[in-house]
Amino acid sequence: MFSVHLSEIPRTISFRTGLLFLGLFGCSFLALFGYIYWQTAFYLKTEADTALYRQVENRSLQSPELQLAEIRKHAVQDVEGRLPHSLFDEQGKFIAGAIHRLPPFAEYDKPQEFRWLKDNGHHRPVRFMVHRLPDGKTLLVAQDMHDIREFDELLINALYSGGVLLLVVGLFGAVVLGYSAHRRLDKLSRSIKGIIEGDLTGRLPILGNNDDIDRLAGVVNGMLDELGRLMSEVKGVCDDIAHDLRTPLTRLIAGLERAQRRGLDEAQYAASIDAALTEAKGLLLTFKALLRISEIENSARRSHFAPLDLNVIAADAAELYEPLAEERGIRLTFNGSQMPAVIAGDAQLLFDAVCNLLDNAIKFSPDHSDIHLTVIADRTAIGIRVTDNGPGIAPAEREAVLRRLYRAESSRHTQGNGLGLSMVSAVARLHDMKLAVSDAAPGCRVDLLGRPATETT
């Protein structure tokens, strides 16, 4: 009937938590009920003693003749013996009243208890008080405690039945909690097992109630998304390395083989060696760029984060690339923000990212065109925007250009290694910023946007 074995439920945290709360609630229940019982019993006992003192006081104020007559009259009226009164002489012999024998007592004028054997053979719990009258006689006033004892037993029985009910309901609730938690964890375990077996598209199920397991599943799903992205990038990098680095390696090997086979003079050998060195240095720069991106993605530089103004960084980058733009007649316009564009980050990495964006914009823009470098700062976002008049990037390739070594077909013969936007993307992720490529109509627009730095005191 159940997909979960009952023997597995006690091992769940929910079941043990349910038992813990059952124990805490049970102790609270016992303490509260015990306090109520103690207060009730104390109140009833105090009321009975107060009534005894009041009756003794009333009888003591009566004359001996009236006192004897009232006790005899009371014995006739109190048929059930609820409040028995009796009078004894100096030797303790019975004179009048409901109780014919003076019970043993420790001292006068102190409430005590004994069991009264009535004429019908039934024992009744009685609380009594013995008082010495001025004429030497002994007055006994008492109160039947049977109803109070029954009320005490009723409270005790209610405690037992309530405790049993609490135990049953608590255990049932703990079992239900353990069962539901075990079923949910089984679903999570099956999902994780599927992911381990190779289904990297699988994700942990989320109910949507934002409880602890949902939040944990959300974090794990985010981690799986990031792992999937990294694995996709690794696969893409491997493919791109095999595709893009094959050509320079082929040229390098071919040049060395030609130099080996042919009888070349010293100048020709030197030219072949220079060509090989150029190819090797290009490969080395590519791998150094890959290592730099890996360093950025490993968040190794978060310790250097500090509040910085993007206006300063963008102005420095524009000043650095303005001569390069002027060589081709390109007008580079810097539009700073009227307010400070402060974020927490690494100034050198952000400067390199802006330089990469400007380098790409200048590289792919036609001569005598316009490039705009804009700093954005408002309540919702803060960042940098670079707009050019180049050929732009096709919508189908706007995600792919962020991969390492990926180069669009339109730029495959342009100088470069296809790592510029990959480095910018890594810097954006490190700074919790978003890198977006869109159409500038004509040209390309690249936005590097993040959140403003939190003000600290």
Please give the DSSP secondary-structure letter assigned to residue 230. Answer: H
| DSSP per-residue codes, 18-82 | HHHHHHHHHHHHHHHHHHHHHHHHHHHHHHHHHHHHHHHHHHHTS-HHHHHHHHHHHHHH-TT-S
Question: Pick from 50, 57, 124: which is nearest to 84 by CA?
Answer: 124
pLDDT in tens, 314-331: 999 999 989 999 998 999
- 293, 233 contact by CB (below 8 A): no
Range(s) within the chain of domains with CATH label 3.30.450: 1-199
What's the Cα-to-Cα distance from 346 to each of 187, 225, 352, 427, rounded to whole Å? 42, 26, 10, 9
pLDDT for residue 455: 45
- Between CA 11 and CA 172 the distance in angstroms is 15
CATH superfamily of the 302-450 domain: Histidine kinase-like ATPase, C-terminal domain (3.30.565.10)
SS3 140: strand
The angle subtended at Cα 288 by Cα 287 and Cα 291, nearest 5°, is: 85
Instruction: For the domain covering 1-199, report its CATH number.
Output: 3.30.450
Crossing angle of helices 310-327 and 347-364, rounded to 10°: 30
- In the chain, list all ranges with CATH 3.30.565.10: 302-450
CB 296 within 8 A of CB 336: no
Number of Cβ atoms within 10 Å of the Cβ of 330: 21
Residue partners of 130: CB distance under 8 A and separation at least 6: 102, 105, 108, 109, 138, 139, 140
Give the pair of three-digit tokens for residue 143. Answer: 């109160």
What local confidence, expressed as pLDDT, does residue 6 receive? 61
Q: Determine the 3-state secondary structure of 258 from DSSP.
A: helix
pTM over 0.75: no
pLDDT tens sequence across 326-381: 998 999 999 988 888 888 888 888 888 888 889 888 888 888 889 999 999 888 88
Residue 1, pLDDT score: 37
Q: What is the structure's pLDDT at 312?
A: 92
- Residue 21's pLDDT is 82
What CA–CA distance (Å, rounded) separates 402 from 421? Answer: 5
Angstrom distance (rounded) from CA 114 to CA 103: 7
Q: Output the pLDDT for position 175.
A: 80
Residues of the chain short of pLDDT 70, as ranges, are: 1-8, 233-247, 262-263, 285-303, 398, 400-420, 452-457
Burial annotation 392-431 (CB, 10 A radius, 16+ → b, else e): bbeeebbeebbbbbbbbeebeeeeebbbbbbbbbbbbbbb
